[in-house]
Amino acid sequence: MKKQLVTFGSLIFLVSGVLWGCSQTQTPEAEQTQIGSAPETLPPTGEVGTMQFRANGEDFVRQGFVTKDGWQVNFDHIYVNFSDAKAYETFTPYDAEAGGDPQAKQTISLVVDKTVDLAAGPEDAETIFVNEVPAPPGRYNALSWEMDQAETGPAEGYTMVLQGTATKDGQTVPFTLKFDQELAFVCGDFVGDERKGILQPGETAQLEATFHFDHLFGDGEAPPEDEINTGALGFEPLAEAAQGGSLDADLATLEQQLSSEEYQTLIAVLPSLGHVGEGHCKETQLTAQKN
């Protein structure tokens, strides 16, 4: 009987040890997989949140501004077509100026294809909402998006359409500028008053694509020798290309109406419009002008 008791006790110990061993050999990856497959059982540290993707044309777009050559420009619409926008949580901070691609721990899709109007709303309106998606917590410190030609809507056939009026010395020029050059931007951390993209469990965070239109038109409040003006086209060449007091032109038209130097300045400037706040992006021209 004594021998049987010892054997039974050993069996209990063996079974307990196996069960304990199984619980200890479960990997963090397996735990994460279980968490991801059953959102309703997520602990507070893994609760899915919401990531908003927004676009901002800055005060230039809503309040108007004076170009480097003295034209007062006011926009009615700035249609931008976003496609394949993604956010990344990277192993190391992404440096757009160094090039390459973000080394991502996790990636989320922000929008597949959508056209928005950067000039919508009053002067003090919020930045433009593009889309929002559920996302796991994390610090999303890199952002990419493309500007493809819109298939439908107010920008159909183009990546960006600018509509507004420009005035100077009693002359008013209504304009519509249509760009079909397809571009891609890959950007690092948002640079501004506060960081963006830090998503806490169960909360909402934002990422922002920022457009600097002073790169195209210059800034009348900056000195003429300032870099923002020396590399900008301004509006005077566009005003001279106007016919019948107004300008309605795509890139093919502008190539004919601008000087070669002015047209090359325009083409060189377009990829530099995209930023994340004041943070720079790596820009790629996906296609040349399509006639």
Segments making up each domain of the chain, as ranges: 2-41, 52-285
The span from the CA of 95 to the CA of 189, in Å, is 9
- Its sign, for the CA torsion 184, 263, 212, 123, is negative
Joined together, the tokens standing for residue 280 give 């720079």
**At 262, is the secondary structure helix, strand, or coil?**
helix
Residue found by looking up tokens 């300008």 in the block = 247
Residue type (1 letter), 155: A
Cβ atoms of 42 and 104 within 8 Å: the answer is: no
* Rounded Cα distance, 178 and 11, in Å: 80
Residue 246 pLDDT > 70: yes
Beta strands in 148-276 (DSSP E): 160-168, 171-179, 183-187, 198-199, 204-211, 247-250, 274-275
Q: What percent of the chain has pLDDT over 70?
A: 82
Residue 5: what pLDDT? 37
| Predicted local distance difference test score (pLDDT) of residue 279 | 96
Q: How confident is the model at residue 6 (pLDDT cuts 50, 70, 90)?
A: very low
- Two tokens, residue 171: 């002359």
In the three-class reduction of DSSP (H, G, I as helix; E, B as strand; rest coil), residue 61 is classed as helix
pLDDT at 4: 40
pLDDT digits (tens, 9 = 90+) for 170-210: 999 999 999 999 999 999 999 999 899 999 999 999 999 99
Rounded mean pLDDT of 227-243? 97
Strand 247-250 to 171-179 pairing: parallel
**DSSP 3-state assignment of 29?**
helix
The alpha carbon of residue 241 and the mean position of all alpha carbons in its chain are separated, in whole angstroms, by 32
Q: Is the pLDDT of residue 150 over 60?
A: yes
Nearest to 50 by CA among 206, 196, 210, 187: 206
Q: Which two tokens stand for residue 41?
A: 């059982």
pLDDT class of 99 with cuts at 50, 70, 90? confident
- 73, pLDDT greater than 50: yes
Q: Are 142 and 186 contacting, i.e. CB atoms less than 8 angstroms apart? A: yes
Average pLDDT over residues 120-130: 92
Specify the range with the lowest mean pLDDT, choosing from 29-38, 44-53, 193-202. Answer: 29-38
Give the residue-averaged pLDDT of 131-156.
97
Residue 272, helix vs strand vs coil? helix
**What's the whole-model pTM score?**
0.82
**34-43, 257-266, 280-289: range with lowest mean pLDDT:** 34-43
Mean of pLDDT over the chain: 86
Residue 285 — very low, low, confident or very high, per pLDDT cuts 50/70/90?
A: confident
Alpha carbons 170 and 189: distance in angstroms, whole number: 43
Evaluate if residue 160 carries a pLDDT over 90: yes
Higher local confidence (pLDDT), 286 or 4: 286
